[in-house]
């Protein structure tokens, strides 16, 4: 049974990280709630470089336009991958450095940074991989700063959205998927409230905040993209029977991908 006192209304999308969903949920926090039900803005269900870009776009987009990013969230979600797998991260970096055509603003990238990113880490070399990821984070920050420094108002919002859509498409292409479907839009601008169940749970003797979206009470423009993405993941099986990175096992791995409820 669902206890009414645990149901809270979460404003989406909100700027920054949040202690509790009643304070708001950003792009990454909503993704985490949909998949693992953990409350974090660094979810394992989104590739790290894409997650950093999504957080930056979320925070730099105006309050009026930010909620329109929410229908993109399901398409950014992937199954968990080994830390050595940089496929999705490299796809986003290729986009940001201009190797994948996209109608996005690209700032000049310092040559040393480009050289570092072109040099892929050696397999199982932890320090090499850490250095590559640091360079990737620098590139994401530089591109976001370029957008906010040169554009204002609706033009900035549109360019940030295009940057995020391009990055999501790049990660999808890296696993053999087509461009994301045209998402729906909220009926009105600004933050909107959606119900979630928030509760403290003991995980390995540590209390963690668990957030379970009450999806049956979410608006169609949010619920439908998630249902479509779940169906897409469930259908992803390689011709030889081997599951793809976002195949059925990934659906099971993003624990609690059920459709709401407590």
Nearest by Cα to 218 from 207, 210, 227, 208: 227
**Residue 74 pLDDT grade (very low, low, confident, very high; cuts 50, 70, 90):** very high
Euclidean distance between CA atoms 78 and 107, whole angstroms: 28
Query: For position 110, what pLDDT does the model report?
Result: 66
DSSP-assigned letter for residue 25: B
- Closest listed residue to residue 68, CA positions, set 154, 178, 197: 154
Q: Is the pLDDT of residue 55 over 80?
A: yes
Confidence of residue 245 (pLDDT cuts 50, 70, 90): low
Q: Give all strands of the β-sheet with 192-203 in edge-to-edge order.
A: 7-12, 192-203, 206-213
The position carrying tokens 């999806």 is: 215
Please give the angle made by the CA atoms of 189, 191 and 195, to the nearest 5 degrees.
Answer: 130
What tens digit of pLDDT does each residue of 38-47 get?
999 999 999 9
Tokens linked to 164: 């995020």
- Checking if the pLDDT of 252 tops 50, the result is no
Q: Is the peptide bond before 13 cis (omega within 30 degrees of 0)?
A: yes
């Amino acid at each position: 049974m669902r206890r009414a006192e645990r149901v809270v209304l979460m404003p989406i999308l909100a700027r920054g990280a949040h202690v509790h969903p009643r304070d708001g949920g950003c792009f990454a926090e909503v993704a985490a709630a949909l998949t693992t039900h953990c409350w974090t803005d660094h979810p394992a269900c989104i590739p790290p470089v894409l997650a950093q870009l999504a957080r930056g776009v979320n925070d730099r987009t105006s309050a009026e336009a930010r909620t329109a990013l929410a229908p993109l969230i399901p398409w950014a979600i992937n199954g968990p991958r080994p830390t050595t797998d940089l496929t999705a991260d490299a796809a986003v970096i290729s986009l940001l450095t201009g190797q994948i055509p996209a109608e996005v603003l690209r700032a000049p990238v310092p040559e040393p940074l480009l050289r570092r990113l072109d040099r892929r880490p050696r397999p199982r070399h932890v320090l090499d991989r850490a250095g590559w990821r640091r360079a990737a984070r620098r590139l994401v920050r530089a591109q976001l700063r370029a957008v906010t420094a040169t554009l204002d108002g609706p033009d900035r919002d549109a360019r940030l959205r295009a940057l995020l859509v391009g990055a999501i498409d790049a990660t999808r292409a890296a696993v053999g998927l087509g461009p994301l479907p045209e998402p729906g839009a909220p009926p009105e601008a600004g933050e909107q409230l959606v119900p979630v169940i928030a509760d403290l749970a003991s995980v390995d003797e540590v209390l963690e905040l668990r957030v379970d979206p009450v999806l049956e009470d979410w608006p169609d423009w949010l619920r439908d993209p998630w249902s479509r993405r779940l169906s897409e993941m469930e259908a992803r099986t390689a011709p030889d029977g081997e599951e793809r990175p976002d195949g059925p096992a990934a659906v099971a791995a993003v624990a609690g991908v059920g459709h709401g409820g407590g």
